[in-house]
């Protein structure tokens, strides 16, 4: 039976909760994945750093730092040597370890973990190394006897299935008194050598659930978990035994169902996949921020199973796989935010450098050119274009080439969801009354600014509009940029470069909230506001000020704002009981809110409540009125 190393035998400091080491691997750019020929949206900056274009502003990049960054040209051998080999000796000392590949579908997880005959991945290399280490110990006659064995399972739709015994039922996960995680009924096969491992592993891998999705012909629909157990027994008395476990995990892809084209069974599968990955992200976050709070291992089968090999005294490495093509932008951005808890915005026209020189993206530049870091275009032409692009101010990137407001909405929600607990606490503090008042003051000023600009905009003649369009189209930018320039021209009016972390306060959106009826825009202004993207930023939801405000007009705008914030706070962090304490929210609605929150993260604004099943616009109006009035004691 698995027995973890006694405290006295563990190397000093190993009983601390370990951080999960995070490596990022960028797979090579593939023409076939880039039908628009847009090039890469992400690139490496060194052994730990990379940058991705900022979706809010194409003239900026977001830089991330990780424990290790494996660039496009990194070999399987290098990934293994840097990220995996160093943790393997711990298995022979009765400690646990886990290596898991995370990332969007099609980004290279299976390649990293399994590889191919010619380029074997982490799994075959790690198992071979375990046998090498055991062999070396036995040769050294250290007084211990070693035995190696394997189990192999998949978690599919939250069911634990034995890959060494296909057709088996969902297996239970248990914990013994020493907090070891056990799976009664799971096949354990003793192994005598690496060749022996291969004969069991290869056919069992074919039992894994895969399917073809729009993004990957052979997409893994389950989390595949290989367990290698090393049991070490003392030859002579006193007879003691230590067990070390190594989990090698190829996670199913994190995915956006709109892109994968998933429906029916595929949609159900990805619901389960995304939920367990979301829990994994919470676990990794809790371990790495060391907040000392509850680590939510029990919230999914995947994290429950990995509980004794993730955090605690275990050694864990997460290899986040990402793809460079623009069509993966949203997934790459999500994966990076999952993996890193900090990032930096840098003013740097990444897109211009990449896209204006298509030969770079297609890998056709000579080695000298790459090493020199120069572009194939004449320097003066490039710098002119860069300048033009900078002047066109803050065009947001439209990942996957479509200016879809729902994608923007999801990016905003994602940023919010990915924030670490320290930032959450900071935000909670921000929500004190004093702070709120200050914010409202700023927002009022911005509101005035917006109105002035809307006025100015209206005064512009059609001719001027045409003229400026012509100017924008005169640039030599490729189609993507022209499209962006047109689509986002009105955003010039809010070209504020803010760190992503403060995106909680969205000036335009909040301006709408503090509007008084007397300040309401007339029809023409509303049209302009729609053009400047107020509705889009809010995911197409009407700004509340533009709907029913008659009763609100009698109330102090600061108090109104405060009440809305309070309601939003309850929606985002309230328990079932607290949610039910809201007016017009019963047990069913409270549960639906909790479910929505679990899948989509925080509500960005109270209007998001309309996305909950059964909450019509009318019902929402009654809800907001009842709750605001009740919070004011009227
Ligand atoms: N580093 C790499 N070098 C060369 N080819 C790669 C690399 N990474 C991935 N590929 C190729 O990209 C394609 C997709 O990779 P893979 O199947 O490993 O993705 P995945 O993340 O496991 O996807 P899914 O989650 O859908 O299973 C495969 O054809 C694979 O061979």
Closest-CA residue, ligand 1 atom 8, reads 108
DSSP state of 305: H
What is the predicted pLDDT for the residue at 129?
97
Distance 111 CA to ligand 1 centre (A): 5
For ligand 1, pick from 24, 216, 250, 319 the residue to mutate: most ligand atoms within 8 Å of CB. 216
Distance 614 CA to ligand 1 centre (A): 41
What is the predicted pLDDT for the residue at 255?
57
Q: How far is CA 179 from CA 7, 8, 306, in A?
A: 14, 17, 12
Provide block-wise average pLDDT over 10 residues at a time, the chain (634 residues): 34 53 92 72 90 82 91 95 95 92 89 93 97 89 89 89 88 90 95 94 81 49 90 85 93 61 52 73 79 79 90 88 89 84 52 34 34 33 37 40 52 56 47 58 79 71 41 29 31 30 28 30 39 35 43 76 89 88 86 78 86 84 86 65
Distance 3 CA to ligand 1 centre (A): 36
What is the predicted pLDDT for the residue at 413?
60
ipTM of the complex in this document? 0.98
Measured from CB, residues less than 6 Å from any atom of ligand 1 are 27-28, 103, 105-111, 216, 219-220, 252-253, 321
Atom of ligand 1 nearest to the CA of 255: 25
Q: How far is CA 618 from CA 219, 547, 610, 614, 615, in A?
A: 43, 11, 10, 11, 8
Taken in order of first residue, the domains within the chain and their CATH numbers are 74-318 (3.40.850.10), 402-631 (no CATH)
448 backbone dihedrals φ, ψ, rounded to 5°: -65, -45
Distance 159 CA to ligand 1 centre (A): 25
DSSP state of 577: H
Closest-CA residue, ligand 1 atom 12, reads 108
What is the predicted pLDDT for the residue at 55?
76
What is the predicted pLDDT for the residue at 373?
31
The residue among 313, 315, 298, 213 whose CA lies nearest residue 264 is 213
pLDDT tens digits, one per residue of 19-69: 788 999 999 998 776 666 677 889 899 899 999 988 777 778 888 999 999
Distance 106 CA to ligand 1 centre (A): 5
103 labelled binding-site residue? yes
The dihedral region occupied by 239, where left means phi > 0, alpha psi between -120 and 50, and beta the remainder, is beta
For ligand 1, pick from 83, 110, 249 the residue to mutate: most ligand atoms within 8 Å of CB. 110
105 labelled binding-site residue? yes
What is the predicted pLDDT for the residue at 90?
92
Neighbours of 387 (CB within 10 A): 12
What is the predicted pLDDT for the residue at 220?
61
Size (the chain), residues = 634
What is the predicted pLDDT for the residue at 138?
83
**Mean per-residue pLDDT of the chain:** 69
Mention every residue, 6+ apart, whose C-beta is less than 8 A from residue 365: 357, 359, 376
What is the predicted pLDDT for the residue at 319?
95
DSSP string, 390-448: HHT--PPP-GGG---HHHHHHHHHHHHHH--HHHHHHHHHHTSHHHHHHHHHHHHHHHH
The residue among 140, 56, 163 whose CA lies nearest residue 503 is 56
What is the predicted pLDDT for the residue at 382?
36
The residue among 66, 105, 122 whose CA lies nearest residue 325 is 105
Distance 322 CA to ligand 1 centre (A): 10
């Amino acid at each position: 039976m698995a027995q973890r190393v006694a405290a006295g035998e563990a190397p000093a400091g190993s009983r601390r909760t370990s951080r999960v080491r995070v490596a990022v691997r960028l797979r090579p750019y593939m023409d076939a994945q880039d039908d628009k020929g847009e090039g890469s949206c992400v690139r490496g900056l060194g052994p730990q750093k990379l940058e991705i274009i900022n979706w809010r502003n194409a003239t900026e990049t977001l830089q991330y730092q990780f424990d290790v960054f494996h660039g496009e040209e990194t070999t399987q051998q290098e990934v293994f040597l840097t990220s995996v080999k160093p943790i393997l000796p711990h298995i022979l000392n009765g400690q646990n370890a886990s290596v898991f590949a995370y990332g969007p579908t099609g980004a290279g997880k299976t390649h990293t973990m399994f590889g191919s005959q010619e380029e074997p991945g982490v799994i075959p290399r790690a198992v071979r190394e375990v046998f090498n280490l055991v062999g070396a110990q036995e040769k050294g006659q250290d007084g211990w006897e070693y035995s190696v064995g394997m189990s192999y399972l998949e978690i599919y739709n939250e069911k634990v299935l034995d890959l060494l015994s296909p057709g088996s039922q969902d297996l239970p996960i248990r914990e013994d008194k020493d907090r070891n995680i056990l799976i009664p009924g799971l096949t354990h096969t003793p192994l005598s050598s690496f060749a022996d491992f291969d004969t069991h592993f290869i056919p069992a891998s074919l039992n894994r659930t895969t399917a073809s999705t729009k993004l990957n012909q052979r997409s893994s629909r389950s989390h595949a978990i290989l367990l290698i157990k090393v049991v070490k027994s003392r030859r002579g008395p006193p007879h003691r035994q230590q067990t070390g476990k190594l989990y090698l995990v190829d996670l199913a892809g994190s995915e956006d169902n709109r892109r994968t084209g998933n429906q029916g069974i595929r949609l159900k599968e990805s619901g389960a996949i995304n939920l367990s990955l979301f829990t994994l992200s919470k676990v990794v976050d809790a371990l790495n921020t060391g907040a000392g709070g509850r680590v939510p291992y029990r919230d999914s089968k995947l994290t429950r199973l990995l509980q004794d090999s993730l955090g605690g005294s275990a050694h864990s490495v997460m290899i986040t796989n990402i793809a460079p093509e623009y069509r993966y932008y949203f997934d790459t951005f999500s994966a990076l935010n999952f993996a890193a808890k900090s990032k930096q915005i840098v003013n740097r026209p990444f897109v211009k450098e990449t896209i204006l020189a298509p030969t770079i993206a297609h890998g056709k530049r000579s080695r000298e050119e790459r090493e020199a870091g120069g572009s194939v275009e004449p320097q003066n032409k490039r710098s002119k274009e860069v300048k033009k692009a900078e002047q066109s101010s803050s065009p947001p990137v439209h990942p996957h080439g479509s200016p879809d407001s729902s994608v923007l909405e999801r990016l905003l929600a994602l940023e919010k969801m990915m924030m670490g607990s320290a930032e959450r606490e900071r935000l909670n503090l921000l929500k004190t009354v004093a702070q709120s008042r200050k914010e409202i003051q700023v927002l009022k000023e911005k509101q005035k600014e917006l109105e002035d600009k809307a006025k100015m905009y209206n005064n512009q003649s059609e001719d001027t509009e045409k003229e400026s369009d012509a100017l924008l189209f005169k640039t030599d930018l490729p189609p993507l940029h022209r499209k962006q320039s047109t689509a986002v021209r009105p955003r010039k009016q809010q070209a504020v470069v803010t760190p992503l972390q403060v995106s909680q306060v969205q000036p335009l959106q909040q301006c709408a909230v503090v509007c008084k009826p007397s300040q309401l825009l007339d029809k023409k202004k509303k049209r302009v506001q729609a053009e400047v993207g107020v509705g889009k930023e809010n995911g197409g939801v009407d700004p509340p000020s533009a709907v029913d405000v008659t009763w609100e007009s009698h109330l102090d705008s600061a108090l109104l704002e405060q009440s809305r914030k309070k309601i939003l706070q309850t929606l985002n962090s309230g328990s079932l009981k607290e949610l039910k304490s809201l007016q017009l929210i019963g047990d069913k609605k409270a549960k639906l809110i909790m479910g929505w929150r679990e899948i989509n993260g925080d509500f960005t604004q109270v209007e998001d409540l309309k996305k909950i099943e059964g909450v019509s616009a009318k019902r929402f109006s009654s809800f907001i009125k009842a709750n605001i009035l009740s919070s004011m004691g009227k």
